[in-house]
Amino acid sequence: MTAATVTAPIAAGTWTIDPVHSTVGFSVKHLMVSKVRGTFDTFSGTVTVAEDGTPSVSAEISVASISTKNDQRDAHIRSADFFDAEKFPTATFVSTSVEAKGDDYVLTGDFTLKGVTKPVSLALEFNGVNPGMGHGTVAGFEATTVISRKDFGIDIEMPLEGGGVVVGDKITISLEIEAVQQ
Protein backbone atom coordinates (compact mmCIF):
# COMPACT_ATOMS: atom_id res chain seq x y z
CA MET A 1 0.00 0.00 0.00
CA THR A 2 1.22 3.48 -0.79
CA ALA A 3 1.17 6.63 1.32
CA ALA A 4 -1.87 7.73 -0.70
CA THR A 5 -3.81 4.76 0.60
CA VAL A 6 -7.04 5.75 2.31
CA THR A 7 -8.76 4.44 5.38
CA ALA A 8 -11.57 2.05 4.52
CA PRO A 9 -15.13 3.16 5.35
CA ILE A 10 -15.91 -0.29 6.77
CA ALA A 11 -14.93 -2.00 10.02
CA ALA A 12 -11.65 -3.83 10.46
CA GLY A 13 -11.70 -7.55 9.80
CA THR A 14 -12.34 -9.94 6.93
CA TRP A 15 -15.29 -9.49 4.60
CA THR A 16 -16.08 -12.43 2.32
CA ILE A 17 -17.70 -11.94 -1.09
CA ASP A 18 -21.20 -13.42 -1.14
CA PRO A 19 -21.50 -15.03 -4.62
CA VAL A 20 -25.29 -15.35 -4.29
CA HIS A 21 -25.66 -11.56 -4.01
CA SER A 22 -22.76 -10.52 -6.26
CA THR A 23 -22.11 -10.41 -9.99
CA VAL A 24 -18.90 -10.53 -12.03
CA GLY A 25 -19.83 -9.38 -15.52
CA PHE A 26 -18.29 -8.14 -18.74
CA SER A 27 -19.14 -6.72 -22.14
CA VAL A 28 -17.23 -6.66 -25.42
CA LYS A 29 -17.93 -5.26 -28.89
CA HIS A 30 -19.36 -7.79 -31.33
CA LEU A 31 -19.30 -7.33 -35.11
CA MET A 32 -18.25 -3.71 -34.50
CA VAL A 33 -21.87 -2.64 -33.89
CA SER A 34 -23.17 -4.16 -30.65
CA LYS A 35 -22.00 -5.74 -27.40
CA VAL A 36 -22.03 -9.26 -26.06
CA ARG A 37 -22.51 -9.40 -22.30
CA GLY A 38 -21.70 -12.23 -19.99
CA THR A 39 -21.01 -13.27 -16.43
CA PHE A 40 -18.79 -15.61 -14.51
CA ASP A 41 -20.86 -17.80 -12.20
CA THR A 42 -18.07 -19.10 -9.95
CA PHE A 43 -15.89 -16.65 -8.04
CA SER A 44 -14.69 -15.92 -4.52
CA GLY A 45 -12.78 -13.27 -2.66
CA THR A 46 -12.17 -11.28 0.46
CA VAL A 47 -11.79 -7.69 1.54
CA THR A 48 -9.46 -7.52 4.52
CA VAL A 49 -9.45 -4.29 6.50
CA ALA A 50 -6.49 -3.78 8.84
CA GLU A 51 -6.90 -2.17 12.27
CA ASP A 52 -5.53 1.09 10.81
CA GLY A 53 -8.32 0.99 8.19
CA THR A 54 -6.12 -0.04 5.26
CA PRO A 55 -8.11 -2.34 2.97
CA SER A 56 -6.81 -5.10 0.72
CA VAL A 57 -8.74 -7.19 -1.79
CA SER A 58 -8.09 -10.68 -3.10
CA ALA A 59 -10.37 -12.43 -5.61
CA GLU A 60 -10.44 -15.48 -7.85
CA ILE A 61 -12.68 -16.22 -10.84
CA SER A 62 -13.21 -19.59 -12.51
CA VAL A 63 -12.95 -18.69 -16.20
CA ALA A 64 -14.69 -21.96 -17.12
CA SER A 65 -17.82 -20.61 -15.41
CA ILE A 66 -18.38 -18.07 -18.20
CA SER A 67 -21.95 -17.61 -19.35
CA THR A 68 -22.98 -15.52 -22.35
CA LYS A 69 -26.28 -17.38 -22.75
CA ASN A 70 -24.89 -19.20 -25.80
CA ASP A 71 -23.34 -22.63 -25.17
CA GLN A 72 -21.41 -22.72 -28.46
CA ARG A 73 -19.86 -19.29 -27.85
CA ASP A 74 -19.07 -20.15 -24.22
CA ALA A 75 -17.25 -23.34 -25.29
CA HIS A 76 -15.23 -21.32 -27.82
CA ILE A 77 -14.31 -18.72 -25.17
CA ARG A 78 -13.12 -21.52 -22.84
CA SER A 79 -10.89 -22.91 -25.64
CA ALA A 80 -7.23 -22.08 -26.29
CA ASP A 81 -8.39 -19.39 -28.76
CA PHE A 82 -9.47 -17.27 -25.80
CA PHE A 83 -9.09 -18.28 -22.10
CA ASP A 84 -7.52 -21.73 -22.50
CA ALA A 85 -9.48 -22.63 -19.35
CA GLU A 86 -8.01 -26.13 -19.16
CA LYS A 87 -4.47 -24.76 -18.83
CA PHE A 88 -5.38 -21.50 -17.02
CA PRO A 89 -8.53 -22.23 -14.98
CA THR A 90 -8.58 -19.07 -12.87
CA ALA A 91 -8.22 -15.34 -13.15
CA THR A 92 -7.05 -13.55 -10.00
CA PHE A 93 -6.93 -10.04 -8.61
CA VAL A 94 -4.80 -8.88 -5.67
CA SER A 95 -5.00 -5.23 -4.69
CA THR A 96 -1.94 -3.06 -4.22
CA SER A 97 -3.62 0.24 -3.25
CA VAL A 98 -6.90 2.05 -2.71
CA GLU A 99 -7.06 5.81 -3.18
CA ALA A 100 -9.87 8.29 -2.67
CA LYS A 101 -11.22 9.99 -5.78
CA GLY A 102 -13.94 12.43 -4.79
CA ASP A 103 -16.70 10.44 -3.08
CA ASP A 104 -15.45 7.23 -4.70
CA TYR A 105 -12.18 5.31 -4.91
CA VAL A 106 -9.63 3.85 -7.30
CA LEU A 107 -8.71 0.25 -6.50
CA THR A 108 -5.43 -0.78 -8.12
CA GLY A 109 -4.00 -4.25 -8.19
CA ASP A 110 -2.46 -7.09 -10.13
CA PHE A 111 -4.87 -8.93 -12.42
CA THR A 112 -3.83 -12.31 -13.81
CA LEU A 113 -5.61 -13.84 -16.78
CA LYS A 114 -4.36 -16.65 -19.02
CA GLY A 115 -1.06 -16.67 -17.11
CA VAL A 116 -0.36 -12.96 -17.72
CA THR A 117 -0.28 -10.48 -14.83
CA LYS A 118 -0.82 -6.76 -15.42
CA PRO A 119 -1.70 -3.84 -13.16
CA VAL A 120 -5.36 -2.82 -13.40
CA SER A 121 -7.22 0.11 -11.84
CA LEU A 122 -10.93 -0.11 -11.09
CA ALA A 123 -13.28 2.79 -10.49
CA LEU A 124 -14.79 1.78 -7.14
CA GLU A 125 -18.01 2.97 -5.55
CA PHE A 126 -18.68 2.08 -1.93
CA ASN A 127 -22.43 1.59 -1.47
CA GLY A 128 -22.42 1.39 2.32
CA VAL A 129 -22.88 -1.07 5.15
CA ASN A 130 -26.07 -2.75 6.39
CA PRO A 131 -26.68 -4.94 9.46
CA GLY A 132 -27.80 -7.70 7.08
CA MET A 133 -30.57 -10.22 7.60
CA GLY A 134 -29.26 -12.33 10.45
CA HIS A 135 -26.15 -13.68 8.69
CA GLY A 136 -23.79 -10.82 9.49
CA THR A 137 -23.12 -7.25 8.52
CA VAL A 138 -22.84 -6.67 4.77
CA ALA A 139 -21.01 -4.07 2.68
CA GLY A 140 -21.72 -3.25 -0.94
CA PHE A 141 -19.40 -2.17 -3.73
CA GLU A 142 -19.54 -1.55 -7.47
CA ALA A 143 -16.42 -1.43 -9.62
CA THR A 144 -15.59 -1.15 -13.31
CA THR A 145 -12.53 -1.24 -15.47
CA VAL A 146 -11.64 -1.64 -19.13
CA ILE A 147 -8.85 -3.99 -20.17
CA SER A 148 -7.31 -4.98 -23.48
CA ARG A 149 -7.76 -8.70 -24.08
CA LYS A 150 -4.59 -8.63 -26.20
CA ASP A 151 -2.59 -7.46 -23.15
CA PHE A 152 -3.46 -10.82 -21.58
CA GLY A 153 -2.50 -13.00 -24.54
CA ILE A 154 -6.02 -13.30 -25.92
CA ASP A 155 -4.99 -12.13 -29.36
CA ILE A 156 -7.26 -14.11 -31.65
CA GLU A 157 -8.17 -12.10 -34.75
CA MET A 158 -11.40 -12.88 -36.53
CA PRO A 159 -11.54 -10.24 -39.29
CA LEU A 160 -14.79 -9.26 -40.98
CA GLU A 161 -14.97 -9.21 -44.76
CA GLY A 162 -15.96 -5.53 -44.81
CA GLY A 163 -13.35 -4.49 -42.23
CA GLY A 164 -13.14 -4.66 -38.48
CA VAL A 165 -13.27 -7.76 -36.32
CA VAL A 166 -15.85 -10.10 -34.85
CA VAL A 167 -14.67 -9.51 -31.25
CA GLY A 168 -13.35 -6.18 -30.01
CA ASP A 169 -10.16 -5.76 -28.01
CA LYS A 170 -11.54 -3.66 -25.14
CA ILE A 171 -13.37 -5.61 -22.44
CA THR A 172 -15.42 -3.76 -19.83
CA ILE A 173 -15.46 -5.61 -16.52
CA SER A 174 -18.28 -4.75 -14.10
CA LEU A 175 -18.47 -5.96 -10.53
CA GLU A 176 -21.41 -5.73 -8.15
CA ILE A 177 -20.19 -7.07 -4.84
CA GLU A 178 -21.86 -7.77 -1.52
CA ALA A 179 -19.44 -8.88 1.17
CA VAL A 180 -20.28 -10.32 4.59
CA GLN A 181 -18.21 -9.54 7.67
CA GLN A 182 -16.67 -12.65 9.20
Distance CA 8, CA 135 (A): 22
Question: Is residue 78 pLDDT above 80, yes or no?
Answer: yes
Percentage above 70 pLDDT, the chain? 93
Query: For 103-113, what is each residue's pLDDT tens digit?
Result: 889 999 999 99
Query: For 54-74, what is each residue's pLDDT tens digit?
Result: 889 999 999 999 999 999 999
One-character DSSP codes across 87-156: T--EEEEEEEEEEEETTEEEEEEEEEETTEEEEEEEEEEEEEEE--SSS--EEEEEEEEEEEGGGGT---
Interstrand relation of 90-101 and 43-49 (parallel, antiparallel or unpaired): unpaired
Amino acid at 37: R
Domain boundary assignment for the chain? 13-181
Q: Which CATH architecture has domain 13-181?
A: Beta Barrel (2.40)
> Could you tell me the pTM of the whole model?
0.89
Torsion angle in degrees (nearest 10) through CA of 32, 63, 80, 171: 20
The predicted model gives 142-160 an average pLDDT of 89
